[in-house]
Amino acid sequence: MKKISMLAVTTFFCLSNFAGATDNIERMNATTMKSFTPENIEWKDEPILPKGAKSAIVVGDPTKKGVFIAWLKFPANYPIPPHTHPFTEVVTVLSGQLGNGMGPKLDKSKGEVLNAGSSFVLPTGHTHYVWTTDKETIVELIATGPWDIKYTNPSDDPRKTGSKK
């Protein structure tokens, strides 16, 4: 009987500790329900990317620690030079076409072009590049903040004075 009681007490404490445990994940949090369309979402210039990109926050804050979702809009024939990100990203093409390749040099022949409805995962720290075809393209980005980009060639960084972008 003592063994069963001791097992029950141990199980209770283990489960109560598990149930009360907290993690360090910043959860997405929305206070109201919102619907988004490319026509009604609030687009802003995206300074972290070459000129011409627009972004709109769906939920979260890319400048803070935690998960966020944003839409990015790129004009036709738009390249983003090779770069890395500090955290894994999931990109889904909502409209248009997005090319994606891996490596330190933008080489469309070594990448693939994804159509609307397609997604890809970019691992942390993997050098990659993207481009659009002859269509304006909108993607959904799911990532962890604080969001950042490190260009392989620092002169490609539009945030730096004297950059070529």
- pLDDT for the residue 11: 45
Distance CA 19, CA 21 (A): 6
Residue 21: per-residue pLDDT? 47
The list of the chain residues with pLDDT below 70 reads: 1-25, 161-165
Residue 165: predicted pLDDT: 58
The model's pLDDT over 32-64, given as tens digits with 9 standing for 90+, comes to 898 989 999 999 999 999 999 999 999 999 999
pLDDT of residue 28: 77
- Residue 47 has a pLDDT of 94
With b for 16 or more beta-carbon neighbours within 10 A and e for fewer, the 53-83 pattern comes to bbbbebebebeeeebbbbbbbbeeebbbbbb
Residue with tokens 């804050």: 61
Q: What is the pLDDT of residue 9?
A: 45
